[in-house]
Amino acid sequence: MTEPILQVEDLHKHFVVKGKGLFRRTVGEVKAVSGVSFDLHPGETLGVVGESGCGKSTLGRTILQLLPATDGRVLFQGKALTEMGRRELRDARRDLQIVFQDPYASLDPRMPVSEIIGEPLRIHGLWKDGGKQKVADLLTLVGLKPEHANRFPHEFSGGQR
């Protein structure tokens, strides 16, 4: 069996709850993620399902190091994300992606789809090598027509978003 591309080991994320008043002392903590572990192998996709407010988004943000973990480890290609420098972490995040359940949380209503799809290509230096064609190819891949590139998110049906 191949080595896992992503390993999450006993991941925890707790948020401190501060009281009101002048000194705002710590009055408790919210355990948003508690002891999550899994291995993800090349070619696999992981779906995280749960009730609203159960920590799905927090888990994703903690895996990507957008939020610091309270405890546990995340390894990408065998290396701990906490040990990566800024550039190496940025490159790892390019390969590790979260797709949030609510499309409006991910789609800027002021941007046409071509810009939304093209933005990560530009950020990661992939636009110059035929960016417009890549956008058209990606739209086709998900069952949309390349002509839809100039539409805005509100112009699509729920399933298309």
Contacts of 52-56 with C-beta under 8 Å, sequence gap 24+, read 55/13, 56/101
- Give the chain's domains with CATH numbers: 1-101 (3.40.50.300), 104-161 (no CATH)
Give CA–CA dist 59/21, Å, rounded: 31
Give pTM, 2 decimals. 0.67
Q: Tell me if 113 sits within 8 A of 145, measured CB to CB.
A: no
Reference 10, options 30, 38, 50; nearest CA is 38
pLDDT at 10: 98
Give kind and range of the element (H or E) at residue 134. helix 131-141
- Positions of the chain with pLDDT under 50: none
Helix or strand holding residue 118 (H, E):
helix 113-123
| Per-residue pLDDT at 23 | 82
- pLDDT tens figures, 34-52: 999 999 999 888 888 888 8
pLDDT of residue 33: 95
pLDDT at 101: 65
Classify 76 as helix, strand or coil. strand
pLDDT at 103: 61
Q: State residue 25's pLDDT score.
A: 87
